[in-house]
A = this chain, B = another copy of it.
Amino acid sequence: MLIEIDTDDHRSGIPPESPLLIEVGRALHDGGMVLTGVLTHAGASYQCSTPEALAAMAEQERAGCVRAAERLRAAGLPCPVVSVGSTPTALSARRLDGVTEVRAGVYVFMDLVMCNIGVCGTGDVALSVLTSVIGHQLDKGWVLVDAGWMAMSRDRGTQAQACDYGYGQVCDDTGRVLPGWVMSGANQEHGILSFDPTLGRGATPPADLAAAFPVGRRLRLLPPHACATAAQFGGYTVLQADGGIADWPRWNHW
């Protein structure tokens, strides 16, 4: 059993200096549980966006979790595992003294939230949803696709960040970003793509939308939040290094 440590006052756990920590550790240990250590997740790192702030949060996470482990050990309790990790801190830590495990999830795929936080670029995002153009609303500047929030999830993770990608960044079928094109709206099975000049890097929308995005054209969508998008599917279609395709099932609960 691991005791959750609260290193950033973001959600849950016991603060490293709390008297409750020793009390809980002793109750578990004396009650016959196998006390294996402490874990934390610095969720507050998602609000950081500079390398300095990220490194400081990683150190706060590390120091708090190691301090909790030291207090348990000083009280004569076992604490072999010291587990830290969120994707932003896992990639920003300058030291990991005393840590035995780093847990991070999103870093497997990366996503647009992580691009905004600054720990990756759009070219690093390995998870995308393949979709097809199914129609247009030309007077609204809309391209309609057959992927709505059932495909991308309802997660609008970049909404409060510097760049708001809506429900996803639109790419061509090879995964090359189409600057300014985002999924700005989502119904259950329909996605609405539109052009956002603030994300367009100087690009302009095509004069003939229907010609640029003909019905049947395949596109790829990069997710704001890879966890939420992946959870909408029962598995992954994996492009392997040798060009082959593999099917990876996923276990979809928690």
Chain A interfacial positions (CB closer than 8 Å to B): 11-12, 43, 134-135, 137, 144, 148-151, 153-156, 187-190, 192, 227-228, 231-232, 234, 252-254
Contact = CB atoms under 8 A, between A and B. Distances in A.
Nearest to A4: B135
A43 B187 CA distance: 9
B228 A149 contact: yes
A135 B252 contact: no
Nearest to A155: B154
Contacts of A252: 232, 234
A157 to B, nearest CB: 9
Contacts of A134: 12
A11 B190 contact: yes
Given A43-B187, A187-B43, A188-B227, A254 B150 contact: yes
A43 B231 CA distance: 26
Contacts of A151: 254
A9 to B, nearest CB: 9
A11 B191 CA distance: 10
Contact of A231 (B227, B232, B254): B232
Contacts of A231: 150, 232
Nearest to A228: B154
A188 to B, nearest CB: 6
